[in-house]
Each structure stands twice: as C-alpha cells, then as structure tokens.
Chain A
C-alpha cells in the first residue's frame, strides 16, 4: 500500500441479515483508499448494492463496523456523512429545476445564494451542462439527468462519491461515453468513487480496483488486469469476460495436465497431482494448422462479430472451446490451437484470497530471479 493513499473507508466484519433471514452480506472486510476509482462488481443479489447502502448510511449492518477517516460511522445518519450518492435512476427532485436540484445540498447547509451560484456553475461545467441551470428535469434526456445527478452530488465536495448502477439506464453508446467522462471527472476532482455495477466491461474499463462479489462475499479484489489475468476461481473467471474452463491436474510446479495432454504453465505452489481448474481466455487462443497446434479441435459454429470471429469447437474429449480470432476457419475440419504457457491460468479449488496472494508472491519472486 502506498504511503500517499490514505485509507478513507473501512468495513470490518460487516454482516447484513434481512428480516426474512436472507443473508445479504457475510463477513465483508474491505478497505477503500482516498482518490481512487473502485468498482463493486457482481451479479444481482450478490450484495454489492447493500454494501453501498451501508456506506451511504441507508442501511445499518447487522454486525460489524464501518469506519470513515478512522472514525466509527456505523450508526451515523446518512445526512451527517461526507459521502454523496448518485442513485440508480438518478432520483432527481421532480419539482425542482436543474439549478435547484444541484443547489439542494448547499441550500440545506444554509449557504447564501451568492455563494451557491458559482459552485453550482462549476459543478454544471464539470459535467458539461453549462447553460442548463433553468431547465426543468422533465425536459432533460436520460444522459443529461445522469449528469445533473452527478453535479448534485459533487457540488457538496464529498470525500467519497457512491454510484449505484448509475449507467444502467442509459443506452449502450451513451454508456460508453459516460464511462470515459466519469473517469475524467474522478481524476479531475481527485476524490474516491465507488461504483456499483453488474457490467464487467464497465468495471474493467474505469476502475483502479475491483471487488468481485458473489453471494454476499468478496470473491476477489485487485486491479482490473489482475482480476482478468489471474481469476481466483471458477466464478470470477466466468463472471469476468468469456473463458474456457477445464478440469486439470497439476503435475508439478509449472507443469499442468488437461485435455489428456501435459503443458508448460506459469503457475506453481500447489501439491503434486492436485486437482485444479484451467482457464484460457478465448482471445489467447490462436488458430494454426493442426500439426502446429498444441491441441487439435474441430470447429462447429462460427459467428462474425465485426472485429473478430467467435468460434465454438470441440476437442477429442468433447470439451467445448470458445475461440476469438481475427481469422475465420473451415467448419467441421480439424484446426490447431496454439497458446503460450502464460495464457494458461491455473485455479485451485476453494483457495482464499490471502492464500492465493501468498502463493503468487512465493513463486513469482522465485521465477524472476
């Protein structure tokens, strides 16, 4: 952890059980540093929004504590937290216009109007809505409402901004555009963003760090590259990007067996002959002639997706292989698949994040020497 980045939010052993007995969060521990862009990524019901609501203060954890700047804020009212939220469907005040919406938080603090005006102007400028102050909310498009919601939150200069599935209501193109903008706004303001999403592309493209959640637990956290390249388990591998997942067996360090063949790999630190799972990303597979390939498969279907072909193929064990390739191939003919040892990601079953990190450290140091 860098010395410049202060820990701003910390959740310790947070558990949330609803009245009907549903366990939304199970022993969540996480640390958020100031000035970074975080994503909480997971399918619906994974608990990501619950974490956000607990940080915002709309929901109290059943057990555990929430710290903000080192102070326990577990029972503090949302109104008293230096945290603001951009809600899923924006939750703009329909009876107020753009100016009044953005000025709301400042008016609440009894700031005089002549001080409010320049701040609102600046916030509207940041979200590129100059000149929209007197518009009614109903006159705005979805994208513009989204910007007002962001302006309304950032005008209060929160230390942390929470964004709850904030882009999900926008169409695809607008969403892409807003991803760039959100990142730009975060870098400009230098405050912490915590972004909740179920869209892995969104999380990968914007975040400094991602928490992958499932069933009320954090499955893995790390940078987008870490999580994409070294998924800790089957769930993360499947959830982040497309992947080929096969059962395998670790022969020894840096050698693994799957599809009835042995391959060199980049993983180590497991027991000999340990049962493992292998992940190979479809874009890491190259198509070659059958005799040059490390594996031979037979292509069954092929879709042209504009920038690449998506090919589904079967190997001799009837394992299905998903291949993303810039070149097409003949259907029902044998083709060779080529991949580098680094493209093989070996996952142990039921490995915790700590063990995973420790194991990685142990042999990566060794290999670099």
Chain B
C-alpha cells in the first residue's frame, strides 16, 4: 500500500479519535476545572472530597459494582464449567445468549412487575407463608436485577477459557494426587483466570453506569456515581459538578485497570 493510501485510510479514523475520544475527555476535564461562569477553579474537587455524601457515594458505587460482579461470578462460574461438559453446547450457548438480545430496559421493566408487592416473587414467597415483602425499590432489587442482566456476559468468557484448557491437564493434576478441590484451586482456576478477568472487566465498569436500574427498580435514589452524573447533567444541569464526578470515576477506573492488569512476578527458587 502506498504512503498516500495509508494516510487516506488513516484520516477518518484519526478524525474519530480526535473528535470522539480526545476532545470529549479534554472537555470533561475542562468542565471539572471551571465553575458555571467558566472561570478556573478547584472548588468542584474540593466539594467532592470534603463532602461526605460524595465520598460515601463513591464507596457505595464500588461496593455495589463489586457485589454485582462477585455474585455474578459466583453464579456464572459453575454454569460455565458445567456447560463445557454438556452435549449440544452450541444450543445451550445460544439459549444463554438469546436473552442478551432482548432490550435491557424491557427486562428491567419485567422486574417491576415480578418484584412488586403482589408480583410473582411475592406470590412465590407466600407459598411458604412469607410476605408480602417489600422487594422493589430496595438495594437488594437493584443488585439482583443487575446480576440477572450481567450473568450471560460472565458465563461466556469463562466458558471460552475453560474450553481452551486441555482436559488431559486436569487428568495430570489428578494423576499427581490432587483432590477435586486442589485441582480446581491450583489448575482450573488459574487457567480459566483470563476468562474470569474479561468477565469482571465486562461487568464491573458497566455496572457503574446502571443509573436506569436505580431509577426504575432501585427506588429512584441517587446511590451511585453513575446516577449522580446523570442527575447533575440532566436534572440539576450543573455540568461542572457532573464532569468532576466523571473525572474522579475515570481516574479510579484507570487505577483499577492498572492494578488488575499488572502481573505478579514469580519468585525465583534456588535449588
């Protein structure tokens, strides 16, 4: 390919990077460092770090994101593992992917009905003589529905990772005397970690922006940074504060990614 053509191919892509990647970040940064009359100030950050509500919200966001990711992993890992043992895996996979193609909002909407005071969940509980329990508009319902939505996105990468493990390696572990649990701990888990990692990445970050879930089933409260950003940008129209929260979120995310991305160096042994 000639140099002229190379540049021709690069132009639209570079334009995209500049306009939609670099410029928006700079603009968000700019807004976070100015006040509403466009003067430079650090007041937004001061407010964020001196105001307990923001810090609490930040902790909350990460706590919820962690909970959602953790519960999803707990439910999905065995499912992914069992899937690799099934006949007709293609059909099973298809059945698991299918719900992800139904609009997220529709599924959230379904839970408004299911979790309501006389909905399916409470009708089920009443069979055991419990309830009716107020499930909708609680933190529990938010985490439950978020987990529900994320399950397929955790199952698939883990399934792929386990599928790539040579089954003989599992036999080798048993042959060397490892129990089922030891084989899981020392062989299966580390070898499927790449899948778990991409599952975590596919869930942790998006779960910070599930503001529609907090609005629809989390009880319309501002409990996470995602909801706070939405609130500042679209309701109270204080873009500077919204941008500040955004910048904090970006920095935290980069930190988390650098942390999980860095490989632990192996200790050398002297024999």
Asked if A120 and B271 sit within 8 Å, CB to CB, the answer is yes
| Given A94-B191, A97-B266, A105-B176: A121 in contact with B171 (beta carbons within 8 A) | no
The verdict on A87 contacting chain B, using a C-beta distance below 8 Å, is yes
The verdict on B209 contacting chain A, using a C-beta distance below 8 Å, is no
Q: Interface residues, chain B, CB within 8 Å of chain A?
A: 166, 168-169, 171-179, 182, 186-187, 190-191, 266, 268-271
Taking the closest CB of chain B, its distance from the CB of A41, in whole angstroms, is 22
Q: Can you list 16 A-B contacts (CB < 8 A)?
A: A56-B171, A57-B174, A78-B175, A79-B175, A79-B179, A80-B177, A84-B176, A91-B171, A94-B169, A99-B271, A104-B173, A104-B186, A105-B177, A108-B182, A134-B268, A153-B175
Q: What 9 A-B pairs have minimum CB-CB distances, sorted nearest first? A: A105-B176, A91-B172, A121-B271, A91-B168, A78-B174, A85-B175, A108-B178, A95-B190, A134-B268
CA distance A58 to B168 in the complex (A): 10
Among A84, A92, A95, A99, point to the contact of B175 (Cβ < 8 A). A84
Which applies to chain A's interface (DSSP): helix, strand, loop or mixed? mixed
CB closest chain-A residue, reference B266: A97
CA distance A93 to B169 in the complex (A): 7
- B172: which A residues are within 8 A, CB to CB? 85, 87, 91-93
CA distance A83 to B182 in the complex (A): 18
Known contacts A58-B174, A134-B268; can you find 10 more A-B pairs with CB under 8 A?
A80-B177, A85-B175, A88-B168, A91-B169, A93-B169, A104-B186, A117-B271, A121-B271, A133-B271, A134-B269
The verdict on A39 contacting chain B, using a C-beta distance below 8 Å, is no
- B166: which A residues are within 8 A, CB to CB? 89, 91
CB closest chain-A residue, reference B165: A94
Asked if A108 and B271 sit within 8 Å, CB to CB, the answer is no
Asked if B177 and A99 sit within 8 Å, CB to CB, the answer is no
Asked if B176 and A152 sit within 8 Å, CB to CB, the answer is yes
- A92: which B residues are within 8 A, CB to CB? 169, 172
- What is the total of A-B residue contacts with beta carbons within 8 Å? 81
- B176: which A residues are within 8 A, CB to CB? 79, 84, 104-105, 108, 152-153, 156
CA distance A289 to B182 in the complex (A): 72
Within 8 A of B (CB), among A116-174: 117-118, 120-121, 124, 133-134, 152-153, 156
- B171: which A residues are within 8 A, CB to CB? 56, 58, 78, 85, 87, 91
> What total of chain A residues lie within 8 Å of the partner, measured CB to CB?
35
The verdict on A77 contacting chain B, using a C-beta distance below 8 Å, is yes
- A95: which B residues are within 8 A, CB to CB? 190-191
The verdict on A109 contacting chain B, using a C-beta distance below 8 Å, is yes
Asked if A99 and B190 sit within 8 Å, CB to CB, the answer is no
CA distance A265 to B95 in the complex (A): 72
CA distance A118 to B269 in the complex (A): 11
Asked if A108 and B177 sit within 8 Å, CB to CB, the answer is yes
CB closest chain-A residue, reference B271: A121
Most buried by A among B166, B172, B186, B191: B172
- A91: which B residues are within 8 A, CB to CB? 166, 168-169, 171-172
CA distance A286 to B166 in the complex (A): 52
CA distance A105 to B176 in the complex (A): 5
- A58: which B residues are within 8 A, CB to CB? 171, 174-175
Interface bits A236-252 vs B (CB < 8 Å: 1, else 0): 00000000000000000
- B190: which A residues are within 8 A, CB to CB? 95
Interface bits A28-51 vs B (CB < 8 Å: 1, else 0): 000000000000000000000000
CA distance A301 to B187 in the complex (A): 56
Asked if A156 and B177 sit within 8 Å, CB to CB, the answer is yes
Taking the closest CB of chain A, its distance from the CB of B178, in whole angstroms, is 5
- B169: which A residues are within 8 A, CB to CB? 91-94
CA distance A78 to B171 in the complex (A): 8
CA distance A117 to B267 in the complex (A): 14
